[in-house]
Structure 1
Amino acid sequence: MHDIGNGRGTRWRWFFYAAATYNLVIGGAGLANSAAAVNDRIVGLLVLCFGIVYAIVGRDPARFGPVLWAGIVGKAGIVALLLPDVFAGSAAPGTGAILSGDALFTIGFLVFLLRRRVTPA
Structure 2
Amino acid sequence: MNWAKPLLVVAALYNIVIGAGSLFGPGAPVETRVVGLLVLCFGIVYAVVSRDVERFRPVLWAGVLGKLGVVALMGPEVASGVQPPAVGWILAGDALFMLAFLAILLGKGRYSTA
Q: TM-score if structure 2 supplies the norm length?
A: 0.92
Structural RMSD (CA): 1.5
Report how many aligned residue pairs link the two structures: 111
Unaligned runs of 5+ in 1: 4-8
How far has the Cα of 1:105 moved from its partner? 0.1
Q: Which residue of 2 aligns with 1:50?
A: 42
Deviations 1:57-80 (A, max 9, x none): 111000001000000000000000
Give yes or no for the alignment of 1:22 onto 2:14. Answer: yes
Distance 1:91 1:52 in 2: 26
Distance 1:109 1:76 in 2: 11
Q: Which residue of 1 aligns with 2:99?
A: 107
Unaligned runs of 5+ in 2: none
Distance 2:103 2:13 in 1: 20
Distance 1:38 1:13 in 2: 33
How far has the Cα of 1:34 moved from its partner? 3.1
Secondary structure at 2:107's aligned position in 1? helix
Q: Which of 87, 98, 112 does residue 95 from structure 1 map onto? A: 87
Give yes or no for the alignment of 1:77 onto 2:58. Answer: no
Give me the identity figure in percent.
51
Give yes or no for the alignment of 1:39 onto 2:31. Answer: yes
Q: Which residue of 1 aligns with 2:54?
A: 62
Structure 1 stretches of 4+ with a deviation exceeding 2 A read: none
Give yes or no for the alignment of 1:86 onto 2:92. Answer: no
Deviations 1:35-54 (A, max 9, x none): 11101100000000000000
Distance 1:67 1:12 in 2: 14
